[in-house]
Structure 1
Amino acid sequence: MSRAADKLPMFVTEFVTEFGTQEAAGDGNDDFDMAQQYVDLMAQKNISWTKLELLRRLPLRRGVQGGDLRQRPVPGHRPAQARGRVGPRAGQVRGYLVRRLLGTGVALAAALALPAAVPDEVPAPAPLAATATDESRIPAPLWTDETDCGTSVFEGIETKPGSVEVVFDPQGQHGDVYRLHTSGEQEGSEWAWVETRGHKTPDGDRLRFTEGDTYYIGWKSMWGPLPTKTGDWVALWQIKDYGSGAATPPRSLRARGDVLDLEYCDPDMKMTQLWKIPLPKDSWNSFVVGVRISSDPFKGWVHFWHNGEEQVLNGQTQLPAAMLCADFVTDKWGVYRSDGITGEATAYLADAKVGTSYEDVSG
Structure 2
Amino acid sequence: MKKIIAFMTFVALNALPASAEILWSADPNVSEKVSDYFKRLDDGNYPQDYCVVKGDEKGVTPSSVEVVDDETQGKVWKINKPINRKRGEFARFEGEVNSLSPKEGDDIYIAWNWKIDTQDGAQIDKEITVFQWKSASPHDQNYPLNMEYDGDLTLNAFGPDYEGRKNQFARRSVLWRKAVPQNEWVSLVVRIKVDKDDFGGLVEFWFNGEKQPLDNLKSKLYRVKLSDDKMTVFHRTNDGRFVYPKWGAYNKKSCQYNVNAYFHNMRVGTSLASVIAN
The TM tier, using the shorter chain, reads 0.7 to 0.9
Q: How far apart, CA to CA, are the structure 2 residues paired with 1:178 and 1:335?
A: 13
Equivalent residue for 1:200, pick from 45, 70, 94? 94
Does the 8 Å CA contact 1:143/1:201 hold for their aligned counterparts? no
Equivalent residue for 2:113, pick from 206, 220, 227? 220
Does the 8 Å CA contact 1:199/1:207 hold for their aligned counterparts? yes
Task: Look up the match of 1:262.
Answer: 155
Task: Look up the match of 2:38.
Answer: 154
Normalising to structure 2: TM-score of the pair? 0.73
How far off is 1:165 after superposition? 0.9
Question: Where in structure 2 are there 5+ consecutive unaligned residues?
Answer: 1-13, 45-61, 162-167, 216-228
How far off is 1:246 after superposition? 5.8
Change (3 A) 1:341 1:185: closer
Q: How far apart, CA to CA, are the structure 2 residues paired with 1:340 and 1:234?
A: 5
Task: Look up the match of 1:360.
Answer: 274
Q: How far apart, CA to CA, are the structure 1 residues paired with 2:25 and 2:140?
A: 26
SS in 2 for 1:149: coil
Task: Look up the match of 1:182.
Answer: 81
SS in 1 for 2:31: helix
Task: Look up the match of 1:235.
Answer: 129
Q: In the comparison of the two structures, how many residue pairs are matched?
A: 220
Question: Where in structure 1 are there 5+ consecutive unaligned residues?
Answer: 1-131, 187-191
SS in 1 for 2:257: coil
Whichever residue aligns with residue 179 of structure 1, its letter is K
Task: Look up the match of 2:262.
Answer: 348
Change (3 A) 1:357 1:289: same
Equivalent residue for 2:214, pick from 297, 306, 313? 313
Superposed CA RMSD in Å reads 2.1
Whichever residue aligns with residue 245 of structure 1, its letter is H
Q: How far apart, CA to CA, are the structure 2 residues paired with 1:340 and 1:286?
A: 23
Compare relative contact order (CA 8 Å, sep 6+) and give the higher one, 1 or 2: 2
Q: How far apart, CA to CA, are the structure 2 residues paired with 1:277 and 1:242?
A: 29
Task: Look up the match of 2:67.
Answer: 166
How far off is 1:341 after superposition? 4.9
Q: Which has the higher strand share?
A: 2
Q: Is 2:236 the counterpart of 1:322?
A: yes
